[in-house]
Amino acid sequence: MRQPIHVGMTLALLCAPGIAYAQQQATVDDIVVTGASDLLIGLVKVNLNVQPGAPLSSVNLSAVELDTINLGFFKSAQARLLTQDGKNILQIAVVPNPDIRSVVVEDTDLVEAGQIKTFLEQRMNIAEGVTLNTARIEESKTALGQAFRELGLPYVPLVTTDLREENGGVILTYSVDENAPINRIEVTGNTQLPKELVSAAFKPLANNKRFDLNLYQQALQTVAQAYAERGFEGSGPDIAASTLENGVFSVRIRELRIGAIDASAVGGASLKVKPGDLYNVNALTDDERAASNATGRAVTAVAQPVADQPGVVNIVFTPGEAASEPIREIRVAGNSAVSSADIAKVLRLKPGDVYTERVAQRDYLAIQRLYRERGLELTTRDPIRFEGGVLTYTVREVKIAGYTLRWTGAHRTTDRVILREFPAPGSLFDSARIRQGLEAVVRSGLVSNPQVNPVVNPESPESVTLELTFTENSSRVFEPAISYDTISGFAGQLALTDTNLFGLAHQASARLEASPNDAGQVLGGSVSYTIPWLDIDFLDFRKVRTSVSANVFSLVTPNQPIYRRNPDGTINTNDKTGREYSERSTGFNFSVGRPLTNALRLNMGVSTEFTNDFLEVKTSDQKDAPDDAAVAGLIPAPGQTTLLYGDLVYDTADSPDFPTRGYRANLGLGYGFGYQGDRALGWTQITGGARTYFGFGNTLESGSKQQVIAVRANAGALIGSVPDSRLFSLGGSEPTERFTLRGYDPRSFIGQNFFTSSLEYRYNFNLQAGIAQGLYGVAFVDAGDAWTDSNDFNLNFGYGLGVQLNLGVGGALFPALRFDYAFSPSSPSGKFTFRIGSFF
């Protein structure tokens, strides 16, 4: 018995040291968190790496504090070990973050702010009243950016947040950068659309230099619609595969292809589509028609997506259960804007074909496309009826029921001034005419910020009321001005203009001019009144834009050179005396104009003026010039003349500001009479001109070409006894381009006949920023002459460079400013000219 006892005691002795060590090792008896709610306290305890029972020696207080802070709910955390009532306590004192008072999402184009706030609340528990969690905010930025990518943005946008403490809480603001920079755009995968069409679709986005969701969606819609119009439904930009990285926007086009074709149910019908072909509904519709005729039953081609091949569909031709009746007759009802013959050209179904509803529906869609190509709209209410072998397409054309005019701010423009530019109620809804109406009222300068909202009558979808919203522009202008030119010197002007008198768009102006000169003729002025549309209820004046204009004036033109005369009494522009005179013209103009066709306009008028010329005092720099007595007889004698005239103006140019195609021409005929001194006057005036334009280069967002070659030629003749004041004079850059000859002084060439021509290369910088509404570079060559005797004709040339700046505010355009620098034999070092007015 001693031996077992001895062994047991030995084992006890061997184990005793370990037992003693375990009893001496201190552990964490409890964890206490202070400063937080019960929910947060529980969250801290659950997520700590230290739990009750852990050896005190294993507790790293810094790690405990870091684990607590990393939860995201606390500003600070302080951990310490202490003993209370004989227990070892791990105490963590925390300072929680404030509660979120509100979540603000700055405006985004892709997703509404409310949807983003819902996403944050449901996915991240970030909402009003919740304790701020900084860790989740960082996670939410990543999740939100990825969500935007999945919703169609071609890149993961940068999401930023801003925290602002207010009244014990936090205002949390999210911002999403939806405007990543774009340096270039690369489009791949397109085999069916013209490259120019695709490039033009994305051109506005490229010009913007930054991503813009609206421009992107417009481009996607344009390309997808172009595919659909060609029958390639389902083809277009692949949003998921398109990326924007490092400024390079790679747009991937996915063209849908046919995988397998199952035509077993239609027997021996001859089909055109083959596996591997692009999916095209036009080709499938032809096959549906052929298979229906072959089987005597309506056959439908059903496209079935292939799960593991997103760009592929399988086609199954499925015949109807019962035989279908053949078409005996096709009728079109309700069409007024498009002839039945034109509609018949776009229909696939013909008399004798087996009626197939699917093909008939696509035929009606073809009718809709035909209408839309002409700017018109149709509804789809009960469009197809097939009874007794008669297939009837009922065309329901959308018409304008009326207009509702709304204004932002005060206005005095009458509704009639606006609405007369638009199609009358009861007219067809013609998008081209509506757009022309908008352009007309905006170009008038009366209004800006136009908005159009079509409101459909739910009881009669064919009736649309157009809500038009405008902001009225200021139309009264008081304009003091001081000017200087090398011919006339300094001049001052006070002008008062109203372009919307009585709210009727009547234009009235009064001008007072002061032009100091050595003849003492300082003051001049004019009063004018123009009615751009004589809108009275008489004959056809309400429908046809008839204009009336009147002008009374007394104007001074100083510093006119005095020329010696040829033996026949005509002016010799090559022989200046060195003396000058000032001319005062006093009279009135009255004119009436109205269109004969959309492109042809007739203007008729009368102009009467009294002229008096005054010799200017001889100055010190004219000491070698003749005395007063020697030049008195060279000054034109006082006179009075009247000119009756008519002009035909033809214009098919595509733009009034920067024409790139089309023609402009004019032909004028007038008869004048009167006296000058004791000489009776009577003459016939004939003038004419033509202009044309050849655009090339890039196509801009407006649809016009960026570069253009413009050519013009003008000529005129005065037959009979003509006063000096009515002679043709050329030189400089004139407001009327027919008398322009850059590189020469004004009135350098004077005579009873004239010829001028210009060749211009123009480049559109496509600038629209602030008040600048267009910037153009010009290179030009001018040629021309004015003469009385045919032996005196000598073609004179000028050439140079120029810049034109178009100005405007709020859609209203101001007169363009044109600056030219030209060279000629008389000005080899160049001559600067400035004028107000746009391109010829």
Give pLDDT tens digits for 781-791. 999 999 998 77
pLDDT at site 19:
41
Q: Predicted confidence band at 747 (pLDDT cuts at 50, 70, 90)?
A: confident
The residue type of 621 is D
What lies within 8 Å, CB to CB, of 735 at 6+ separation is 835, 836, 837
Q: Domain spanning 25-96: which superfamily?
A: membrane protein fhac (3.10.20.310)
- The predicted-structure confidence for 109-147, as pLDDT tens digits, reads as follows 788 888 888 888 888 889 898 888 888 888 898 999 898
pLDDT above 90 covers a percentage of the chain that reads 48
The CA angle 242-246-251, to the nearest 5 degrees, is 20
pLDDT at site 813:
62
pLDDT at site 47:
83
- d(CA 80, CA 67) in angstroms, rounded, equals 14
**405 in Cβ contact with 419 (< 8 Å):** yes
pLDDT at site 331:
94
* Mean pLDDT value of segment 296-312: 91
User: What distance lies between CA 494 and its chain's CA centroid?
Assistant: 36
Q: What is the dihedral of CA 697, 701, 702, 703, to 10 degrees?
A: 50
CATH fit for domain 100-176, picks 3.40.1190.20, 3.30.465.10, 3.10.20.310, 3.90.1150.10: 3.10.20.310
* Mean pLDDT value of segment 732-753: 87
pLDDT at site 811:
52
- The predicted-structure confidence for 370-389, as pLDDT tens digits, reads as follows 999 999 999 988 899 999 99
Res. 485: pLDDT tops 70: no
**289 in Cβ contact with 359 (< 8 Å):** yes
Q: What 3-state DSSP class applies to 796?
A: strand
Res. 693: pLDDT tops 70: yes
What is the third-level CATH fold of 184-254? Ubiquitin-like (UB roll) (3.10.20)
Q: Predicted confidence band at 810 (pLDDT cuts at 50, 70, 90)?
A: low
What is the third-level CATH fold of 399-472? Ubiquitin-like (UB roll) (3.10.20)
Fold match between domain 25-96 and domain 666-840: no
**760 in Cβ contact with 710 (< 8 Å):** yes
pLDDT above 70 covers a percentage of the chain that reads 95
- The predicted-structure confidence for 811-837, as pLDDT tens digits, reads as follows 556 778 889 999 999 999 999 888 887
Q: Predicted confidence band at 2 (pLDDT cuts at 50, 70, 90)?
A: very low
pTM of the model: 0.68
**817 in Cβ contact with 836 (< 8 Å):** yes
pLDDT at site 815:
75
- d(CA 53, CA 566) in angstroms, rounded, equals 126
Residue among 99, 103, 121 at smallest CA distance from 161: 103
**647 in Cβ contact with 603 (< 8 Å):** yes
pLDDT at site 250:
92
Computed over every residue of the chain, the mean pLDDT equals: 88
Q: Please state the domain extents for the chain.
A: 25-96, 100-176, 184-254, 399-472, 666-840
Going by their DSSP bridges, the two strands 827-836 and 663-676 should be labelled as: unpaired
Res. 10: pLDDT tops 50: no
Beta bridge partner(s), residue 480: 494
pLDDT at site 326:
93
pLDDT at site 486:
57
pLDDT at site 109:
79
The residue type of 477 is V
Q: What is the CA radius of gyration of the chain?
A: 42
Going by their DSSP bridges, the two strands 772-787 and 796-809 should be labelled as: antiparallel
* Mean pLDDT value of segment 328-349: 94
CATH class in words for 666-840: mainly beta
